[in-house]
Amino acid sequence: MKCYHYTWRTTYSTKPSEIFNENNEILGTINKYYPNVFCRIIDALCFEGKYFVEYRIHSSDKLIFKAKANLNPFKKRQYKIDYYGNNKHDELLLVDKKLFDIVEVTDFEFEGKTYHLKKAPLQWAKLTVNNQLIAEWHIPIKPPFKCRLKLHDLNYESKVLFLIGIFHTYLEGV
């Protein structure tokens, strides 16, 4: 098992947060992004920083991950993901699957596999494939606000920034 961490920023902040591995080496940065100042002001004043949701993860000044919320108010919460890893571009869609439950649940297809993400209140979020635990993610409810990722399947070590992006987008982009 390997562990990674980064500082959680408020929903209004666009300041990058560095992502560290267990040896405190920087793997990349994550930040909230606004296409223009107008969107940022409207989001802050009217929507508590939760409407124009777009996150970006960079590694060595290279864009690795981009997530953007679908802004259709008549659809369930969903995010379009662009992943630029392993010299190729993958697109996927994260759609909220819960109905009237407080448990966060979604499924998505990536590289021919179906991933299942689930987070119950006060528990670590879990990402599984075929009931095999890949990773867990957690943000504490009191300071210090350090997001943590435990990578259980080391076959996904090259995709750790992708996994952090999925967890952060779906669970913090609410």
Domain with residue 128: its CATH number is 2.40.160
- pLDDT for res 122: 87
Q: What is the pLDDT of residue 48?
A: 81
The confidence score (pLDDT) of residue 128 equals 97
Report, as ranges of residue numbers, the positions in the chain whose pLDDT lies below 50. none
Residue 61 CA to residue 142 CA, distance in Å, equals 31
* Angle at CA of residue 157, ends 143 and 14, nearest 5°: 40
pLDDT confidence of residue 74: 66
29 CB-side CA count, 13 A: 13
Contact 101, 112 (CB under 8 A): no
Identity at 43, one-letter amino acid code = D
Instruction: Say which DSSP state 2 is in.
Output: E
pLDDT, position 44: 86
pLDDT at position 141 is 79
Q: Give me the helices (H) in the chain, please.
A: 37-46, 160-172
Count of all residues that appear for the chain in the document = 174
- Looking at the structure of the chain, the number of domains it has is 1
Q: Give the span between the Cα atoms of 152 and 48, in whole angstroms.
A: 35
Phi, psi of 70 (to 5 degrees): -80, 125
Range of the domain at 21: 2-172
Residue with tokens 């090259």: 158
Residue-wise pLDDT tens digits, 80-118: 999 998 788 999 998 887 766 788 889 999 999 999 999
